Amino acid sequence: MLIHVVKAGDSLWKIANTYRVSMASIISINELAEPDRLVIGQALVIPEVQAETVHTVKAGESLWKIAQTYGTTVQNITQANNIANPNLIYPGQKLTIPGNHKPSIAVNGYIYIYGQAAVPIVREVGEYLTYLSPFAYLIREDGSMQPIDDQPALEAGRNLGVVPMMSITNFTSTYRGENLASVVLNSPEIRSRLLNNILQIMREKGYRGLNIDFENVLPADREAYNTFLQEAVNRLHAEGYFVSSALAPKTSATQTGLLYEAHDYEAHGRIADFVILMTYEWGYRKGPPQAISPLNQIRRVLDYAVTVIPRKKIFFGFQLYARDWLIPHVSGQEAETFSMQEAMARAVRYGTVIQYDTVTQSPFFRYRDERGRNHEVWFEDARSAQAKFDTVKEYNLGGISYWALGYPFPQNWALLRDNFRIQKL
């Protein structure tokens, strides 16, 4: 697929004719609510399928690295380009990447919408998911857990071949949970009781794996957390289940702060079957406006992560929501959170120009509302999604994890399918 960025004077008819595709196909794949009202800077996915890809060699690249990026082999590339010596390629050289070169990845989707309301959401995107994780069972100090109405989502996912992954946590949107985690993690009896309860729920509801998302864990409880993770793996592996964990976005082993210190990347990478890096929330809802998932910062996290965690065990965290801040920002003022489709609707409604920050690889725009207030919106579009997918391929990661389902972003799913083969277990 191609990505077209709308320029002054562009119309849907003109764009469709330029790429020799139908207007209906562009409207459909981008789910354009008002196709006759395009915005300068808007990124559109163009549904053009290409049988092969042409790669321009960059300085320092090897054929092995290029083959890894595209999920193919050195032999396939040398044969397609009549290369006699695979060690002799040069910057600027054009290489044809043959055929079916999509890398295979696993995809997880968290969902915090419960009951029947979750069913249409799962049905819409289930074909793109390997795992579905209703978020979450909140642990209690006695080792029990607060129940959630996850059965409708699990059933909808199973019908689409999605593996259910149970998620447990120690926090809520209003409760940090560090003391709760400390009580549970430091008691062998409570840890054992919690694992017993987890296994009971997994058997009853058909979960096949567990995701542990303990956040704000006290630095002093780092080893206790590692011990619990090892105990969980020992117990669950014995019964045929897998175990994963969610990790704060660290850039070094010595990074300080409540979010980071107890998250031991090396231990989690060694013990767990895979880890989910929560590479989002730089643009925090209560903080100043900025990119929510800036790619320059994410790359710093990945540069550290791959030194201590096997690459195929790493899932890239991808946010599915946009944010709208009032500006100038006032401390304590909370941004509004909504879907990418709503972000585009606001750009159209207020006739703004969408800008693209090349450092963070993130789009944004500003507008003034009916009350005269100024706003700044950061979101994701086809360009930023493709940049993230390219990063997953560059680092040869094992998967992508979305936070969270329920925010429509049709361009993402079209590009995900175009870039990867999604594993169905």
* Cβ neighbour number for residue 147 with a 10 Å cutoff: 9
Higher-confidence residue: 425 or 290? 290
pLDDT digits (tens, 9 = 90+) for 373-396: 999 999 999 999 999 999 999 999
Q: Residue 54: its pLDDT value, please? A: 85
Q: Tell me if 336 is assigned to some domain.
A: no
Same structural domain, 220 and 293: yes
Our count of domains for the chain comes to 3
Which is nearest to 224 in space by CA: 191, 263, 185? 185
Cα pseudo-dihedral 19, 23, 27, 29, rounded to 10 = -40
- Over residues 249-261, the mean pLDDT reads 98
Q: Catalytic: which of 215, 261, 342, 376?
A: 215
Q: Residue 107: its pLDDT value, please? A: 98
Q: Which residue has the tokens 């193919």?
A: 72
Q: Residue 83: its pLDDT value, please? A: 87
Give the strand pairing for 355-357 and 274-277. unpaired
Q: Residue 51: its pLDDT value, please? A: 52
Same structural domain, 111 and 225: yes
Half-sphere exposure of 402 (CA within 13 A, CB side): 28
Asked whether residue 52 carries a pLDDT value surpassing 80, the answer given is: no
What is this structure's pTM? 0.89
Asked whether residue 250 carries a pLDDT value surpassing 90, the answer given is: yes
Q: Which residues pair with 399 in a beta bridge?
A: 106, 315
- Report residue 1's pLDDT band, with 50, 70 and 90 as the boundaries: confident
Q: How far apart (Å, rounded) are the C-alpha atoms in residues 169 and 104? A: 29
Which is nearest to 276 in space by CA: 363, 401, 153? 401
Same structural domain, 88 and 177: no
Q: Tell me if 344 is assigned to some domain.
A: no
What does residue 420 show for φ and ψ, rounded to 5 degrees?
A: -135, 155
Q: Residue 104: its pLDDT value, please? A: 95
Q: Tell me if 340 is assigned to some domain.
A: no
What is the Cα 168 distance to its own chain's centre? 19
Angle at 64 between CA 63 and CA 66, to 5 degrees: 65
- Domain range spanning residue 11? 2-46
pLDDT digits (tens, 9 = 90+) for 277-334: 999 999 999 999 999 999 999 999 999 999 999 999 999 999 999 999 999 999 989 9
- Report residue 417's pLDDT band, with 50, 70 and 90 as the boundaries: very high
Asked whether residue 100 carries a pLDDT value surpassing 90, the answer given is: no
Residue 274 CB burial class (10 angstroms; 0-12, 13-18, ≥19): buried
Q: How far apart (Å, rounded) are the C-alpha atoms in residues 22 and 207? A: 43
Q: Which residues pair with 5 in a beta bridge?
A: 43
* Residue percentage of the chain with pLDDT more than 90: 88
Q: Residue 387: its pLDDT value, please? A: 98
Q: Residue 271: its pLDDT value, please? A: 98
Q: Tell me if 357 is assigned to some domain.
A: no
Which is nearest to 262 in space by CA: 212, 194, 191? 212
Asked whether residue 4 carries a pLDDT value surpassing 90, the answer given is: yes
Same structural domain, 59 and 21: no
Q: How far apart (Å, rounded) are the C-alpha atoms in residues 279 and 135? A: 17
Same structural domain, 84 and 138: no
H or E element in which residue 55 lies: strand 53-56
Q: How far apart (Å, rounded) are the C-alpha atoms in residues 222 and 253? A: 12
What b/e readout covers 106-131, taking b as 16+ CB neighbours within 10 angstroms?
Answer: bbbbbbbbeeeebbebbebbbebbbb
Higher-confidence residue: 129 or 1? 129
H or E element in which residue 139 lies: strand 137-139
Q: Tell me if 353 is assigned to some domain.
A: no
Q: Is 31 a catalytic residue?
A: no
Contact indicator for 292, 282 with CB cutoff of 8 Å? yes
Cα pseudo-dihedral 178, 311, 408, 148, rounded to 10 = -40
Higher-confidence residue: 96 or 34? 34
Q: Tell me if 174 is assigned to some domain.
A: yes
Cα distances from 176 to residues 135, 198, 214, 264, 411, in angstroms, run 16, 22, 10, 19, 34
Three-class secondary structure assignment of 250-318: CCCCCCCCCCCCCCCHHHHHHHCCEEEECCCCCCCCCCCCCCCCCHHHHHHHHHHHHHHCCHHHEEEEE
Q: How far apart (Å, rounded) are the C-alpha atoms in residues 398 and 340? A: 26
Asked whether residue 49 carries a pLDDT value surpassing 80, the answer given is: no
- Report residue 99's pLDDT band, with 50, 70 and 90 as the boundaries: low
Same structural domain, 165 and 265: yes
Same structural domain, 381 and 416: yes
pLDDT digits (tens, 9 = 90+) for 123-151: 999 999 999 999 999 999 999 999 999 99
Same structural domain, 205 and 278: yes
DSSP per-residue letters across 215-235: -S--GGGHHHHHHHHHHHHHH
- Report residue 409's pLDDT band, with 50, 70 and 90 as the boundaries: very high
Q: What CATH code is carried by the domain that includes residue 405?
A: 3.20.20.80
Same structural domain, 156 and 212: yes
Cα radius of gyration (the chain): 23
Q: Residue 103: its pLDDT value, please? A: 92
Same structural domain, 82 and 108: no
Q: What CATH code is carried by the domain that includes residue 14?
A: 3.10.350.10
What does residue 321 show for φ and ψ, rounded to 5 degrees?
A: -125, 160
Q: How far apart (Å, rounded) are the C-alpha atoms in residues 135 and 61? A: 41
Q: How far apart (Å, rounded) are the C-alpha atoms in residues 149 and 156? A: 13
Lowest mean pLDDT among 53-67, 146-160, 201-215: 53-67
- Report residue 173's pLDDT band, with 50, 70 and 90 as the boundaries: confident
Contact indicator for 393, 69 with CB cutoff of 8 Å? yes
Q: Tell me if 354 is assigned to some domain.
A: no
pLDDT digits (tens, 9 = 90+) for 54-96: 889 999 899 888 887 777 778 778 877 878 788 889 999 998 8
Same structural domain, 296 and 228: yes
- Report residue 50's pLDDT band, with 50, 70 and 90 as the boundaries: low
Q: Residue 86: its pLDDT value, please? A: 87
Higher-confidence residue: 255 or 70? 255
Q: How far apart (Å, rounded) are the C-alpha atoms in residues 216 and 176? A: 6
Q: Which residues pair with 398 in a beta bridge?
A: none
Same structural domain, 22 and 145: no
Q: Tell me if 308 is assigned to some domain.
A: yes
